[in-house]
A and B are shown apart, each in its own frame.
Chain A
Amino acid sequence: MGRFIILVIALAALWLLLSGYLDKPLLLAFGAGSVLFAAYLARRAKIIDNDSVPGGLFPGVLLYWVWLGGEIGKANMQVIRQALAVEPKLSPKLFLVPNPPKTSVGMATFANSITLTPGTVSVDLREDAILVHALTEDLADVAAITDMGERIKKIERGA
């Protein structure tokens, strides 16, 4: 039931921010009706679980996104330097990052974070590792990527 309420609140906030109708009662009623209908359908289809409504990630994940934004900025500079260099020093590499988060939400967040950081792309997800392709030796920093995974595990524990 908790997740159902979170889903309703999230959908209502999305509807209000996208439409901006705060003083039109008829439209607000239609909005409330459509939000409840969508949430009811999701419940009826039994798709309300930790994958579709990962409420436990908030609010920790917001701070993580800010941190990730900084990392993306740094990695962007490195890739842009290679792209514009007269003589690019590429050294592509495939490597395994061990011990990713166990839950499917954590795994998805981790793999997406790796892909979102320019210079590294997650290529294959395995039971106990993620196969990553990196553009240069510098970007293939297993310790930094493992640290990223630890941060996600900490968020999932609710720290």
Chain B
Amino acid sequence: MIDLYIIKDIVSWALMVAGGIAVVAGAIGLVRFPDFFSRIHAAGVTDTGGAELIIIGMLLQAPDWIVAAKLIFIGVFLFLTSPVATHAVAHAAWMTGFKPMQGPDLRYDGDGK
């Protein structure tokens, strides 16, 4: 049965590396994207793709069911709470009158604030 363990290790490594790539890509996007609203999308990659893939990868390495259950809880609660935080930030920016860049030429509407 040693083969099954190797397959499990390979799958979990692949998931963790993919998650790591998503986290790094999110960080790069956070720096490269032009304005506040587009940067939120890059942060979204980090806390959905990145976090969940790494947690699923760790799930395959869990030594017993209690650790697995806790990892599933972490994943589910991240899944439910991270969009709330993202929306709170975006809504706060919107309510204070901060307008996003729009269109392919990335122009601010109106007074060019």
Q: Whole-angstrom distance from the CB of B107 to the nearest CB of chain A?
A: 10
- Docked Cα-Cα span, A133 to B82, in Å, equals 17
CB contacts under 8 Å to B, within A32-75, are 65, 69, 72-73
Q: Which residues of B contact A93 (CB under 8 A)?
A: 102-103
Give chain B interface residues in 31-51, CB to chain A under 8 Å. Answer: 32-35, 37-38, 40-42, 44-45, 48-49
Taking a contact as CB atoms under 8 Å apart, the answer to whether A115 and B44 are in contact is yes
Which stretch in A23-31, A98-106, A117-125, A149-157 binds the other chain? A117-125
Q: Given A116-B82, A121-B86, A135-B38: A92 and B102 within 8 A (CB)?
A: yes
- On whether the beta carbons of A91 and B41 are closer than 8 Å, the reply is no
B106 CB, nearest partner CB in chain A, Å: 7
Q: Point out the residue from A18, A80, A89, A123 that lies within 8 Å of B90, measured CB to CB.
A: A123
Indicate whether A83 reaches chain B with its CB closer than 8 angstroms. yes
Query: Chain A contact residues (Cβ within 8 angstroms of B): what range?
Result: 35 or more
Q: How far is the CA of A99 from the CA of B4 in the complex (A)?
A: 49
Determine whether the beta carbon of B48 is less than 8 Å from that of A72: yes
**Given A65-B79, A119-B41, are A91 and B94 also a contact pair (CB < 8 Å)?**
no
Q: Known: A82-B29, A91-B104, A112-B80. Is A133-B90 also a contact (CB below 8 A)?
A: yes
Interface secondary structure of B, over-half rule: helix
Interface positions, chain B 97-113, Cβ under 8 Å from A, are 100-104, 106
The reply to whether the CB of B59 lies closer than 8 angstroms to some CB of chain A is: no
Residue of A nearest to B31 (CB): A83
CA–CA, A73 to B22, complex, Å?
A: 11
CB-based contact A18/B42 at 8 Å:
no
Please state if A80 and B103 are interface contacts (CB–CB under 8 Å): no
Asked whether A158 is an interface residue with its Cβ less than 8 Å from the other chain, the reply is no
When distances are taken between beta carbons in the complex, the residues of chain B under 8 Å from A116 are 44, 48, 79, 82-83
Q: Select the residue from B26, B42, B45, B102 with max chain A CB neighbours within 10 A.
A: B45
Mark B76-90 against chain A: 1 for CB-CB distance below 8 A, else 0.
000110111011001
In the bound complex, how far is the Cα of B67 from the Cα of A119, in angstroms? 32
Contacts of B45 in A (CB 8 A): 76, 79-80, 83, 118
- Is residue B62 within 8 Å, beta carbon to beta carbon, of the partner chain? no
14 additional A-B pairs beyond A93-B103, A115-B86, beta carbons within 8 Å, are A17-B69, A18-B70, A65-B79, A76-B45, A79-B44, A79-B45, A83-B29, A83-B33, A92-B102, A111-B83, A111-B87, A112-B80, A119-B41, A123-B91
Jot down 9 A-B pairs with beta carbons below 8 A, ordered by A. A80-B25, A84-B25, A92-B37, A92-B103, A115-B90, A118-B48, A121-B40, A121-B41, A133-B40
